[in-house]
Amino acid sequence: MYLNGNTFSKILVLVAVFIALAACAPKKVRLYGASDSLRNDIVGSALSLQGKPYKNAAKGPDAFDCSGFVYYVFKQHRVFLPPPAAAQGRAGYEVGRNGVQPGDLVIFRIDGDFHIGIVLSGGDFIHASKSRGVAIDNIDTVYWRRQLVGYRSVL
């Protein structure tokens, strides 16, 4: 089959549009092993905020920084955490990677500052990203793995 240059260009544009749209779509997350309803409710609340913009020192509901996002989500379920990420990273108790559950906190150290998110499942976590707002990432990517400090449970 032979494609002329014009047809090939159209196909290339369609493929590029499809890839761009797929990358912008909110990621669907399936929970595994979280039988506790409070954990499921916290994860559901966090996911409902996906796409909200990042704003330094913002605690929601229209925009968030990382610790403001965690503070806001947990507050909705009457779990009160201190606002700064460093303090949130000391709240509760430490859990290992094998014991982490949806709704636990994941803590990172990036350029000397703490960054915090909420564990979803299968290595996925949700956080307020400076570049993308509230978004889902995976701990197993090289970037996040290098920044990982640990996990904490406050539930």
Inter-CA distances, 125 with 3, 29, 60, 64, 100, Å: 43, 10, 19, 16, 11
Give the active site residue among 42, 47, 66, 107: 66
What distance in Å separates the CA atoms of residue 36 and residue 53, rounded to the nearest whole number? 29
Place of tokens 């509901």: 61
Question: Has 77 been annotated as catalytic?
Answer: no
Give the active site residue among 31, 52, 58, 115: 115
Question: Has 24 been annotated as catalytic?
Answer: no
Give the active site residue among 39, 52, 127, 152: 127
Active site residues: 66, 115, 127
